[in-house]
Chains A and B, each alone.
Chain A
Amino acid sequence: MTTRRLPRILKAVRRTALQAVPTVIGILILNFFLLRLTPGDAADALAGEAGAATVETLAALKSKFGLDLPVLEQLGGYLSNLAHFSLGVSPRYNQPVAELIAARLPNTLSLMGLALVFALLIGITLGALMASFAGRPTDRVLSVVALLFYSIPSFWIGLMLIVLFSVKLGWLPTGGAETIGANLTGWDAVLDRARYQILPALSLALFYVAIYARLTRDDMIEVRTQDHVRTARAKGLSPFAVTRDHVLRNALIPVTTMAGIHLAGLMGGAVVVETVFSWPGLGRLAYEAVMGRDFHVLLGILLLSSLLVVAVNAAIDILQAWLDPRIEVR
């Protein structure tokens, strides 16, 4: 079985890689020209922060970072840098962009990962409940609850969670990534970090809980009417077993597709949530980069996050082809 599936999957990998190339190049060029339109550059921002800068030092700064070259030359320089697997150097931090991003990326990824886990767990449970009571008051009430979750700004619920769990109850920390100066190791360090991650991940997840609940509900209702479910019920399986093994499993495929689509959104949402919880992730870095006109960092983040989205979408395509042989790899 595996031998028959493998060539198909390799074919899919190659096709996706080929298709991704124009997308990524398009993103690069779009981003580059977009950022060129911004008034001011890194040198201006640095000079502004220093308070005083002569025309000469400003010019020296600009030529040091290559900001005085024509736009096309700058683009060419950036692309040739990329061809050598370098994202350039940040004038602001005076550090390679790749290093800056690498230092922040794990934080953002773990935040997004935990948020996605929360969203899927709570969402699928809610959706399964709604589908079991479809059309009845429980379903109606839960539908409105899901819509309510969908309507709450993530940064606001983050603040309210801080008020409740940090200020009033004192259970969880208000912000940051770990207890400073605690020097924990092993399991303690993991637990410590987890405590800092619960509130931000929850605020980020709430929005997606609503989406997965709704999707799971609709898909389960659709799957339930299909023949194989009727067969399972006729065999005398308990309603719970039917739901778990025959309905939910088939309803999950669309949910995984959506989870892939949401990656770009999660990344954007992380920017706001990271601000609320002073979480040292990519979102904070992106925000600081915009404020400091630090284009190389910003380009690097936009490129990397876009690549991540492309890669995850491809992975989900392939995963689904693996799960369900009927799905043709496009």
Chain B
Amino acid sequence: MHGTDTFPTGSLAAKSLATDAEDRAAAAALGAERAPAPLPEPDFWPNVHAPDAARTVTADVARLAPVGRRHALLVFLSNPTAVAGLLILAAVVGAALAAPLLFPDDPLEMAGRPLQWPGQNPRFPLGTDALGRDVLAGLVHGARVSLLVGACATLAGLLAGILVGATAGYFGGVVDDVLSKLIEIFQTVPGFILLIVLVAIAQPSVPAIALAIAAVSWPQVARLVRAQFRAIKEKDFVAAARALGFGHGRIIFREILPNALPPVIVLASVTVATAILMESALSFMGLGDPNVVSWGSMIGTGRDLLRTAWYLSAVPGVAIVLTVLSLNLIGDGLNEALNPRLGGEG
């Protein structure tokens, strides 16, 4: 459904990150200048023009980073909407973790008289559905599925996107042309239709759905990572790493990737949100895992009784909206914290 869309946070983050990394590289260089390493002994003198080259390690960058990270955390925590998002998400995660304790019975089992409205019976605060199943129990167990699918799909999508994007952006040339074409192909096919096809091929199950969602979300990550790598690989500290004879693998994963990550983290939080939306849409259309309760399938079954018992569709929908909103609020807060130039000015 919404898998192929780019929310501005991601692209804006990419725009400003180039300068971000530049700043950090400059800061690292400054730090090195201010505190010169003791000169090496004359008998150990590897390079006349850059006497401390052999000692220059990425640790210099790493040492500076925590200060920035602590600052980002402060900015994030002083943002009321971001903290609200964090609290909502914590509540949902807590409910998901506590589900087997709170409702040890199978949520697909009949628990009481069918079609009781919320508030009608204190035993079922959110009512029961047409088969007498407890709506609240379904909701809490559904949180497990939604979060699991969202997290796994995002992890798999990030992994694939980072690998493809980093390879394309770092090596350039023919490799870049081929991989860019591949990304373009995946972005041109309507994501949700592709998702339906993939799930139909694999037969609906939680892992299959997570992988299928990953398959439609990776191109966005790949595009962002590629742009990042193209900008960062031209920086002086990468040239320095290359001059020191580091291999491609080390430069990609230890020099460039850490500097490319902040906007990817922002994108990841939004990707979890979209993955949850996609999973719910799939289950709503009857393509979810039939063995588990999911918010989307609860809405789908409630739909038949829309005229008389609309709470059956409304309640799980509110759960989806709150969870997805919390993730988007967090993504927004992260974006502001990691790219201070972007937010709040005016």
Q: Verify if B320 is at the interface (C-beta below 8 Å from A).
A: yes
Question: How far, in Å, is A318 (CB) from chain B's closest CB?
Answer: 18
Q: Is the CB of B329 within 8 A of A27?
A: no
Q: A315 within 8 Å of B by Cβ?
A: no
Q: Are B193 and A156 in contact (CB under 8 A)?
A: no
List B contacts of A283 (CB < 8 A).
193
| CB < 8 Å neighbour of A271 from B1, B7, B8, B184 | B1
Report which residue of A134, A147, A262 has the largest number of chain B beta carbons within 10 angstroms of its beta carbon.
Answer: A147
Closest beta carbon of chain B to A239's beta carbon, Å? 14
In the assembled complex, which residues on chain A have CB atoms less than 8 Å from the CB atom of B285? 272, 275, 287
Q: How far is the CB of B218 from chain A (nearest CB, A)?
A: 14
**Contacting pair B196 A151 (CB below 8 A):** no
Cα distance A302–B185 when bound, in Å? 12
**Which of A9-17, A31-39, A81-89 makes up part of the contact surface?**
A31-39
**Min distance, Cβ B130 to any Cβ of chain A, angstroms:** 16
Distance in Å from the Cβ of A105 to the closest Cβ of chain B? 14
Contact call A147/B325, Cβ cutoff below 8 A:
yes
Binary contact track A13-27/B, C-beta < 8 Å → 1, others 0: 000000000110011
- How far is it, in angstroms, between the C-alpha of A153 and the C-alpha of B299 when the chains are bound? 11
Do A218 and B81 touch (CB < 8 A)? no
Q: Does A209 contact B (CB under 8 A)?
A: no
B344, A135: Cβ atoms closer than 8 Å: yes
Interface flag for B197 (CB, 8 Å):
yes
B200 touches A153 (CB 8 A): no
The yes or no answer to A148 lying at the interface (CB within 8 A) is yes
Identify the stretch in B152-160, B232-240, B306-314 within 8 Å (CB) of chain A at 4 or more residues.
B306-314
B167 within 8 A of A: no
Instruction: Write out the residue numbers on chain A whose beta carbons fall within 8 Å of the beta carbon of B299.
Output: 155-156, 159
CA distance A221 to B342 in the complex (A): 10
Instruction: Decide yes or no whether B117 CB sits under 8 A from chain A.
Output: no
In contact, B197 and A298 (Cβ under 8 angstroms): yes
Task: Check B306–A265 contact: CB distance below 8 A.
Answer: no
The stretch that binds B, out of A46-54, A60-68, A304-312, is A304-312
**Contact call A155/B281, Cβ cutoff below 8 A:** yes
Do A147 and B332 have beta carbons less than 8 Å apart? yes
Is B284 part of the contact surface with A, judged by Cβ < 8 Å?
A: yes
Set A26, A156, A160, A265: member contacting B190, Cβ < 8 A: A265
Q: Is the CB of A302 within 8 A of B317?
A: no
Q: Which residue of A lies closest to B215 (CB)?
A: A34
A295 to chain B, nearest CB (A): 10
B183 to chain A, nearest CB (A): 11
Is B324 at the interface (CB under 8 A from chain A)? yes
Judge if A215 is at the interface, Cβ distance under 8 Å. yes
Task: Give the chain A neighbours of B345 by CB distance below 8 A.
Answer: 134-135, 221
Residue A144 is within 8 A (CB to CB) of chain B in the complex: yes
B4 contact from A144, A210, A264, A275, Cβ within 8 A: A264
Query: B75 an interface residue at 8 Å Cβ cutoff?
Result: no
Which residues of B from 181 to 217 have beta carbons under 8 Å from A?
181-182, 184-185, 187-198, 200-201, 203
- B344 neighbours in A (Cβ, 8 Å): 135
B313 touches A269 (CB 8 A): no
**B192 to A268, Cβ gap below 8 A?**
yes
| Chain B hits for A153, CB < 8 A | 277, 280-281, 284, 296, 317, 320-321, 324
A221 touches B4 (CB 8 A): no
- B141 → chain A closest CB, angstroms: 19
Which B residues lie within 8 Å of A152 (CB)? 317, 321, 324
Known: A150-B328, A221-B345. A265 touches B185 (CB 8 A): no
Report yes or no: B4 in contact with A268, Cβ–Cβ below 8 A.
yes
Please tell me if the beta carbons of A35 and B193 are within 8 angstroms of each other in the complex.
no
Interface centre among A139, A151, A152 (most CB of B within 10 A): A151
Interface string of A120-156 (1 = CB under 8 A from B): 0000000000010011000110011001101111111
Q: Are A265 and B284 in contact (CB under 8 A)?
A: no
Shortest C-beta distance, B86 to chain A (Å), equals 14
Return chain A residues, CB-CB under 8 Å to B324. 151-153
- On whether A269 and B192 interact (CB within 8 A), knowing A23-B185, A155-B299, A159-B299, the answer reads yes
- Which chain B positions have C-beta within 8 A of A155? 281, 284, 299
Report if A279 contacts B (CB, 8 A): no
B8 touches A134 (CB 8 A): no
Give min CB distance, B185 to chain A, whole Å: 4
Q: Which of A70-113 contact B (CB under 8 A)?
A: none
Q: Residue-by-residue, is A276-304 near B (CB-CB < 8 Å gives 1, otherwise 0)? A: 10000001001100110000001001100
User: Is the beta-carbon distance between B4 and A159 smaller than 8 angstroms?
Assistant: no
Contacts of A162 in B (CB 8 A): 306
Query: Do A211 and B5 contact each other (CB < 8 Å), given the known contacts A163-B306, A290-B197?
Result: yes
Instruction: Point out the residues of chain B lying under 8 angstroms from A272, CB to CB.
Output: 1, 192, 281, 284-285
Does the CB pair A264–B191 fall under 8 Å?
A: yes
Task: Tell me which residues from 66 to 122 in chain B have a Cβ below 8 Å from any Cβ of chain A.
Answer: 81
CA distance A134 to B344 in the complex (A): 8
Please give, as numbers and ranges, the residues of chain A lying within 8 Å of B189 by CB-CB distance: 27, 30-31, 264, 302, 305-306
Q: A163-B314, A268-B190 are in contact. List 10 more A-B contacts (CB 8 A).
A: A38-B201, A135-B345, A155-B281, A159-B303, A262-B5, A265-B1, A267-B190, A269-B1, A272-B192, A272-B281
12 contacts between A and B (CB under 8 A): A144-B81, A147-B328, A147-B332, A151-B327, A152-B321, A159-B310, A261-B4, A265-B5, A268-B4, A271-B190, A287-B196, A310-B188
Pick the 9 closest A-B CB pairs, nearest first.
A268-B192, A134-B346, A156-B317, A151-B324, A135-B346, A151-B325, A267-B190, A268-B190, A265-B5
Residues of A within 8 A of B (CB): 22-23, 26-27, 30-31, 34-35, 37-39, 131, 134-135, 139-140, 143-144, 147-148, 150-156, 159-160, 162-163, 167, 207, 210-211, 214-215, 218, 221, 258, 261-262, 264-265, 267-269, 271-272, 275-276, 283, 286-287, 290-291, 298, 301-302, 305-306, 309-310
